[in-house]
Structure formats: structure tokens, C-alpha cells
Amino acid sequence: MTTEPSGNLTGRPVKRHCPFCGRRLSNRFWEGALRRFCRHCNLPIYENPIPAVCAVVPDDRGRLLLVRRGVEPKIGAWCLPGGFMELGETPETAALRELREEAGLNGRIASLLGLYATPSRLYHTILLAGYLVMPEDGRPRPGDDATAVGWFDGDDLPTIAFDRHLAFIRDFQNRKGPEAQAPGR
Ligand SMILES: [Zn+2]
């Protein structure tokens, strides 16, 4: 697993105000890193990776489901269905919810493809879990942040918005096993 150096406060929007007391934050070297710090509360403002999920969804012919992004970043590009976890969810329920919201499909989790720390301009680091999800029912239709949904042959993919999404697709394609060879229900 790789990530950018921790404690890097440059290159993205910086928190200005303490979430507890509302006063202005400063920087302080604390526990091995330069962090935002509230002198009034005498507390460092810890910042952590944001958990997100995405789903590799093959149909019974082995084609892969992609959604075209209707929002920035990478608006207009294709990617796996996915998004940020919400409070109260497990990663698995988040992946199935995003699939339902963005692509109109219900599915079931088949396996975890991997868990990666991936750099983000806005969030510094996203902790991204990729799942292999088998479609159960529903008709693909774009919803939420997607403007189109389509099934694509693995060797004829459009440009994928995020390197890590493409890596999950390649991970899936390189798998040797009954689930990857014949992704039935
Ligand atoms: Zn404070």
C-alpha cells in the first residue's frame, strides 16, 4: 500500500476554523507531523483518509458496467460505480447503494478486490475499497451523479477517469478462478 507523505498541508484547501470552538486554527508540529491546531482548545485537528468504495460489476458475458460522470472531478469521463461511505454503512452496503443510485442495479457482493490509499487533490488521501459485485436485478439507467451507464468489453474500454478504478478492473481481469471466468449469479 502506498500513499503520499503524511502531514502535508499544502496543495489543497486548508481548514481555517476549529470545528469545536470556531476560532481560527494555526499550524503546530504535533506527534511527528505539521497539523492544524486550535490554541484555544489546545487540540490538534486530526485529519484522516476518507473511506470510499467502488464496484467492478460484470454481466453474464463478462462485460463490465461503467458510469459516465456527471460531476467534477473528471466530468464526462467513465468510471466504476462508487462513492463515499456514509455514516452507519458498512463498505459493502455503501458499494451496493452506490450501484443502485448511480446505475439502477441491485447486486450482491462477491468478494473484496482490494483496499488502497489513493491520493486526492481535495481530500489528500482516499481509502478506496474495490468490490466484485454480481448484478441481481434492475435495469441499468443513469442516476445521481451519472449521465450514462453502459456495459463494456474488457478489451475495449473507454478512458477511465481514475487510475485506481482501472487497476481494479485489471485486477479482476487477471484473476484466475471460477468467479472471474464465469461470473454467474
Ligand atoms: Zn477550538
Q: What is the pLDDT of residues 137-176, one digit of tens each?
A: 888 989 878 899 999 998 899 999 999 999 999 999 998 6
- For ligand 1, the distance from its centroid to the CA atom of residue 141, given in whole angstroms, is 46
Distance from residue 65's CA to the centre of ligand 1 (Å): 45
Q: 22: CA distance to ligand 1 center in Å? A: 6
For 50-63, what is the mean pLDDT?
Answer: 96
**Pick from 8-17, 30-39, 101-110, 121-130: least confident:** 8-17
Amino acid 3: pLDDT: 36
Range with lowest mean pLDDT among 25-34, 63-72, 81-90, 172-181: 172-181
* Distance from residue 46's CA to the centre of ligand 1 (Å): 12
Question: Cα separation of 2 and 147, whole Å?
Answer: 32
Q: How far is the CA of 26 from the centre of ligand 1 (A)?
A: 11
Identity of the residue numbered 114: G
Averaged pLDDT, 21-46: 95
Q: Can you name the residues that pair with 51 across neighbouring β-strands?
A: 127
Share of the chain above pLDDT 70, in %: 89
* Residue 28 to residue 19: CA distance in whole angstroms: 17
Per residue in 109-135, is it b (16+ CB within 10 Å) or e — as a string?
bbbebeebbbebeebbbbbbbbbbbbb
Neighbours of ion ligand 1 (CB under 5 A): 18, 20-21, 38, 40-41
| Band of residue 1 on the pLDDT scale cut at 50, 70, 90 | very low
* β-strand partners of 120: 124
| H-helix or E-strand spanning residue 28 | strand 26-30
pLDDT for position 28: 96
Other beta carbons less than 10 A from residue 85's beta carbon: 19
Q: How far is the CA of 151 from the centre of ligand 1 (A)?
A: 50
User: In Å, how far from its chain's centre is CA 43?
Assistant: 30
Mean pLDDT over each residue of the chain, to the nearest integer: 88
pTM for the model stands at 0.82
Between the CA of 3 and the centroid of ligand 1 the distance, in Å, is 29
SS3 12: coil
Q: How many angstroms separate the alpha carbon of residue 148 from the centre of ligand 1?
A: 44
pLDDT for 30? 94
Whole-number Å distance, alpha carbon 17 to ligand 1 midpoint, is 8
Question: Which residues, 6 or more positions from 99, have their beta carbon under 8 angstroms from its beta carbon?
Answer: 55, 57, 81, 105, 106, 107, 133
Ligand 1 center to 35 CA (angstroms): 14
pLDDT at 71: 87
- Which residue from 130, 95, 131, 93 is spatially nearest to 111, judged by alpha carbons? 131
